[in-house]
A and B are shown apart, each in its own frame.
Chain A
């Protein structure tokens, strides 16, 4: 069975601080995808990144960076120089990669980030 744990329920920071959102996952599958989504107050989940288990290279996109550590089953997300617009709920998710069939996207409970001016 798959499980995604986001231990931080809520985080509050002041603008321009760096913040890291933790994600730990469990899976018996050897190949899988990991995702991060952002859910602003408007409700829709906005796709941020997808990584596959083959590729442990860290990724940077502007102020966002992701640290994938297969050895510790973690896929942490860091926002550098946070801004008020980063305030949202962030979800980490896992999906196995298999041939054919319908695969579930399993979500963590989310971390609510509040960036104060």
Chain B
């Protein structure tokens, strides 16, 4: 149990499908993040939420739509994805957005777009 739970662990979707990734933490953290991990690339920050408010969108295409209904839950809604969007999507949380107390990561959702 990592403290940050992501579901599903694996997802295969067609380019016309709509699906959602879920992230949940009960660590009392106020900030949550989505990262994308592609093969042979550094982890890329996608979105940052602080106290449920989005504070950063790192030039992510609109086919990725985040939602943060409360400080414990974060979603990533996916629609009309491309094969190059296949990657491991990692959720993380931290007590604040300054990283003073580190970041806790989930196990990720392995997404394959066919």
Chain A contact residues, CB within 8 Å of chain B: 4, 33, 35, 37, 42-47, 50, 91, 95, 97-98, 101-110
Distance from B65 Cβ to chain A, minimum over Cβ atoms (Å): 19
> Cα distance A2–B12 when bound, in Å?
34
Residues on A with C-beta less than 8 A from B108 are: 43-44
- Please provide the 6 A-B residue pairs with the shortest distance between their CB atoms, ordered closest to farther: A45-B105, A44-B107, A102-B55, A43-B108, A107-B43, A95-B99
A interface, over-half SS: loop
> Cα distance A103–B83 when bound, in Å?
30
Number of inter-chain CB pairs below 8 Å = 66
Contact A97 B98 (CB under 8 A): yes
Contact B41 A103 (CB under 8 A): no
Can you sample 8 A-B contacts with CB below 8 Å?
A43-B88, A43-B107, A45-B103, A97-B98, A102-B50, A104-B58, A107-B42, A110-B42
Contact partner, A4, options B42, B48, B102, B103, Cβ 8 Å: B42
Residues on B with C-beta less than 8 A from A97 are: 98-100
